[in-house]
Amino acid sequence: MTDTTPIARFLTRQAADDGAELLRANAIRCAVVDPPMHLVDPLYPGLREAGYHTIVVADDDAETAREALDGFLDAAWFLRARDGRRTHAFETATAERLRRHAATDADPDTWVARDCRHLAGRLDAARAPHVAALFRHQRTVEGRTVAEWAHACGCEPVERP
C-alpha cells in the first residue's frame, strides 16, 4: 500500500470535491476523507464542532499536487484542457506551466497555445515567478489586462456567488 499525505483541508465537501477534480485533471490520484461524525452536544444543541474534509494523495505526488492546488481558492481564472476540465489556476501559472499547457492541454495550432507561449516569454523577460506577479505592478501587459490575457489563453472564469 502506498503511503499518503494530506494535501489540503476544506470546510465543505463541495470545495474538497472541486479540489480533487482539479488534481485528477492533472493525473494525480487522490481521495477526499470526510470528517468523523460528531455527536450533538446537549448543552449546545445547535452547534457542532466543524470538521474538515481532507484531500490526500500518494506521498510521491505531494509536490505536484501542491503545485496544482496553488492559488485554487483565490483564482479568478483557470487554464482548461481541451475537454473543458480545469487544469491550473491561471494567476499562479509559471512560464514553464504556460508552456506545458500550450504543448499538452491546448490545441497546439491555435491562438490559445500561441498566446500562452507568448505570455510565458513575457514572464521570463520580466523575471516574474507567475502571472499574478507580472500584473502586480502594472495594469496591462502589451495593452491587455490579466482578464484579457486569461481569455486569450483559453481560461475559464470562476463564477462567484
CATH of the domain at 55: 3.30.70.1530
Question: Cα separation of 59 and 18, whole Å?
Answer: 21
The total number of structural domains in the chain stands at 2
| Domain identity same for 86 and 145 | yes
Q: Which of 25, 46, 69 is the last residue of a domain?
A: 69
Contact by Cβ (8 Å): 63, 7:
no
| Domain identity same for 19 and 89 | no
Residue pLDDT, tens place only, 43-62: 555 545 557 889 999 999 99
| Domain identity same for 89 and 140 | yes
| Domain identity same for 65 and 84 | no
Q: Which of 69, 88, 106 is the last residue of a domain?
A: 69
| Domain identity same for 139 and 89 | yes
Q: For residues 136-160, give the mean pLDDT.
A: 88
Range of the domain at 136: 77-157
Length of the chain: 161
CB-count burial class (<10 Å; 0-12, 13-18, 19+) for 52: middle
| Domain identity same for 32 and 83 | no
Residue pLDDT, tens place only, 69-80: 877 777 889 998
Q: What is the pTM of this model?
A: 0.65
